[in-house]
């Protein structure tokens, strides 16, 4: 396990309560989850910036159209 640090923080009580309700965990574990999520969020943003933008809102038909444009040779299915 990584080195642990004991800290004192001042947080809005309602924010901490909401977060604990979401995680179902105690204060320390809730903060660990939140901090890990922040690190992952930052890493995703950096990756997206390095690779360009991906349209994650594409529906099934759009994805199929993109496959067809990519030369997969698949016939387009009518809805």
What would the pLDDT profile of 49-78 be if each residue is shown by its tens digit? 877 766 666 666 666 777 777 655 444 454
What would the pLDDT profile of 10-23 be if each residue is shown by its tens digit? 999 999 999 999 99
Q: Which residues contact residue 43 at a Cβ distance below 8 angstroms, ignoring those fewer than 6 apart?
A: none
What would the pLDDT profile of 25-56 be if each residue is shown by its tens digit? 999 999 999 999 999 999 998 888 877 766 66
CA distances from 12 to 6, 17, 38, 62 (A): 19, 9, 18, 43
Q: Which residues contact residue 54 at a Cβ distance below 8 angstroms, ignoring those fewer than 6 apart?
A: 48
Instruction: Give the predicted TM-score (pTM) of the model.
Output: 0.60
């Amino acid at each position: 396990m990584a080195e642990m640090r004991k800290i004192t923080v001042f947080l809005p009580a309602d924010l901490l309560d909401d977060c604990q309700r979401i995680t179902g965990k105690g204060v320390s574990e809730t903060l660990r989850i939140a901090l890990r999520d922040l690190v992952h969020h930052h890493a995703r943003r950096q990756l997206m910036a390095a690779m360009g933008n991906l349209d994650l809102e594409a529906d099934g038909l759009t994805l199929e159209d993109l496959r067809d444009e990519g030369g997969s040779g698949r016939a387009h299915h009518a809805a």
